[in-house]
Structure 1
């Protein structure tokens, strides 16, 4: 009787295992099918975006090609003044100086690294009062040292 029960249990377990295996394979097939569909959708979207990017790059290349011609035509119509504007350094290269701060420094008459490097204590105090957001930035970010480094590099 024990052997008969053991055989029945073994058959039952085998049937359950086969059923679970079949269910797993069906599930796996559905998941893979869904993933393949999703992958195809994503690949087509990537192709669309790639085409769009290539068209935009072509447009930009055409605009850049046309821009020098436009500038040359504009220079011919607008003769340059005999005296050029004083050269300016890009103060935004200095850590702690953004576009707005560079504009405020330019409004205060500071356009070059040399001017920034040569500021005295009284001039710094005046800038602290004149420019909002300037307070202690010069010392905190070591603007004068950074300016001297840019001067040395050029």
Structure 2
């Protein structure tokens, strides 16, 4: 090798490296392999989505807290535990005054279709307890 060839060698190697990188990049694109820019864009989009999820989760928690604030603690009535409370809530009964206002037909329907415990409501005195708890918490029944 002569002195000129050795002097131009770094430039030639840089040029060959650029050609190689270009060919590899084109081959990767044809194969559908994402580039660094693609991955950075995806990462930014994921961050945006995660922020939206956090906001929605906060909104959902606020809604759930507001809903829970409108529910009475039916477990304070003797004979109602967490399972029965959930069943009653699912059936639309969340407040003491709703239990206090149950009619004979309502009681029969609840016992057969919702709580599946015949005689429980009258035996445990849910209506009287619900009236007392309502008056204690809210004042007079409406």
TM-score, normalised by the number of residues in structure 1: 0.45
